A and B are shown apart, each in its own frame.
Chain A
């Protein structure tokens, strides 16, 4: 009996490949459902057909512009990268719940109207990463390119009330490096691509003790300089390497930084949920892969929780971190690839027919779809 079941299950999967796509601000991850790693990770940019310049898909001016950029971008993914006919396939779209409605609607429109895909399943990034751990209670910190966001998940339910987001991501780091390298790099060399390369290959997150001393009169000996080669050879100062990520830990005008985001989010959660959440933290997003990030986050958290005002509000002192069976930059994608198995079920997807009839994408912020009285419609 069970053998028959399994046979049936595998047959369903074998019928048509289900595409899982996670469109990020800097990189787009794509692959197929029930595979352990994405087929590819590419920059979210495309050569604009009108101007012949490379443009990021989020650099759109208006809806029509975005539509054309997405058509080009997805066409490239479908036929150059993943190589699959887009018509009538199922797509799992892993997206942040904080993505703009405009982008979401246009992406759906492009997939249905231009590529005529059969159905789309929308999965929220933070929630779906729980699938990669087989845990139900996790506090997810996603540090991507544009922003860092926290959404706690308790027993499989996202506590949306406690969400936190700050524009602290790779973009902020790049800005810091760009500023620090101003004198070394010429203006035309100072491209985001080069800065990113410098960041990935040479920079790291320093420890909290050293960071505290960085701005004092007696700074610690900086790490060695690195010889770097572009068209010419240049040297990247050790101070730049060490202080590149400091932006993420400095308190801004509202006294907020990445560690306070986590603590603020925990404070907003019900009191019973706080301890389990603090002991189940998962870091995702490309920026958290930097050497030293997790060590720093832990020591910062332990330091801040013992100081005012958090020491009064929170009694917890322990923080534990999970390791997902993936590299952090595609953990959300992997969650989609695992949970996307349920894309077989029509009730979990938005079908082409339903979309063409109503021209409406269900969204959690929209009261048409998210009513208190009928639980069926709540997507997540």
Chain B
């Protein structure tokens, strides 16, 4: 599967305008469009510790500040610390009085980094008698003061909230307010000798003691000019920022940090709110509950080989297409300018399908009806930045890819299917794959003089897709023609081009 990570020679255009290889995109079966990491909504699914794989419910994770209680990171090199077992000789107070008793050995635990050799003993942290749970984190020295400030502002915020609510209340019955607090009523009260109506006093807020500015700034600088610094004893900025509360400046002040949890994410299509990817909750499992990767739904295109590209001369380009679905696929190549729309054939008449309508039709019982759902926030479609600098000569005829058959791969007596292929286009065929021949013509006008290093060509591929999701409108599988825009990057200096010339 090494090709998944290689430079992206074949890029699919996502519905948001980003260009990505097929291994990085999703295909939402509900809106029938391509989605990618940029245009889906990411959600945190479950938390787990990357070291001990313990997973906890969200509420508990929040309480523990996203940190594992058992695993620690080395403050020095940020790797995971291991818990080591040591022995200590101790003389208990009781045995002191009885002189004949021997010192007893006790099991003790300390933390140690196997990478940089940092250990909790070096830092002067006492050994623990229990392996986990007893390691204390350093307290923030300012926490009391900050908590006092926070409480004060909490009270202020709730006051403001009350005031806002009271205001609303008054507006509703403004005529009563006039009676009660108006000038006339105040005068009347004064005349009758009653005390004026004061507004209900707010509860007094105990303001925290304001900080006092100091005139003396005590920094001892005297030895700064004479003392030499051991660079290995001073911490780097990364080590300091690992623990923002303390930001220790020397190595011996560093303390182990609890390991941060990491998360499993699920991805949701922003238009129809269906999941396109949902991992298994269990942290030890690498499987997915839902995985609508484009790899399982769109025909995959790979560059097999091509002739060295030359100006004014068309070069052969061989592409391998494979059909990952369980249904036969009809593939047609169209020019880059063709609009990317979804069509269906109803009794031989081509009909365009509005994507909005598909979504309306596919309200599944798991989701809120579309009328109640929040209106989706749609980002603007990014402009495609790639400018093709070559032309691709596409065949007019379409051809068929048979469905993927898992068993066929092991069956050596593979019966070749009879397809009425144009031998000029289809070069080779095997089960659900076939190699086709196209021609590329580098564009002279767009590049000045020299032959460019890479030639980018683009086209629109139309393929038939069977929508198996039963909807209210379509109970039976619906046959659709989907289109996807593809960009091929042909590297003129690459090896593939040279091998092609050798093949000739």
Contacts and interface: CB of A to CB of B under 8 A. Distances in A.
A207 B44 contact: no
A175 interface: no
Contacts of B219: 291-292, 294-295
B160 A342 contact: yes
Contacts, number: 183
Most buried by A among B160, B236, B379: B379
Interface stretch (B88-96, B149-157, B490-498): B149-157
Nearest to A348: B160
Given A37-B244, A196-B237, A87 B225 contact: no
Nearest to A110: B379
Interface in A271-325: 279-281, 289, 291-292, 294-295, 298, 318-325
A153 interface: no
B404 interface: no
Nearest to A226: B229
Nearest to A297: B217
B357 to A, nearest CB: 24
B306 interface: no
B221 interface: yes
Contact of B244 (A38, A279, A281): A38
On chain A, which size bracket covers the interface? Answer: 35 or more
B241 A134 contact: no
B191 interface: no
A167 B183 CA distance: 57
Q: Chain A interface mostly helix, strand, loop or mixed?
A: mixed
A327 interface: yes
A64 B498 CA distance: 38
A41 B377 contact: no
B225 A210 contact: yes
Nearest to A75: B42
B115 interface: no
Given A133-B211, A135-B210, A201 B62 contact: no
Given A200-B237, A279-B213, A327-B244, A64 B153 contact: no
Interface in B114-146: 140, 142-143, 145-146
A132 B66 contact: no
B215 to A, nearest CB: 5
A318 to B, nearest CB: 6
Interface of B: 38, 41-44, 47, 62, 65-66, 140, 142-143, 145-147, 149-150, 152-158, 160-161, 164, 203, 207-215, 217, 219, 221, 224-229, 231-232, 234-237, 240-241, 244-245, 247, 260-263, 265, 377, 379-380, 382-383
Interface of A: 2, 5, 8-9, 13, 17, 27, 29, 34, 36-42, 64, 71, 75, 78-80, 82-87, 112-114, 116, 131-135, 196-197, 200-202, 204, 206-207, 210, 220-229, 242, 279-281, 289, 291-292, 294-295, 298, 318-327, 329-330, 334, 337-339, 341-342, 344-345, 347, 352, 356
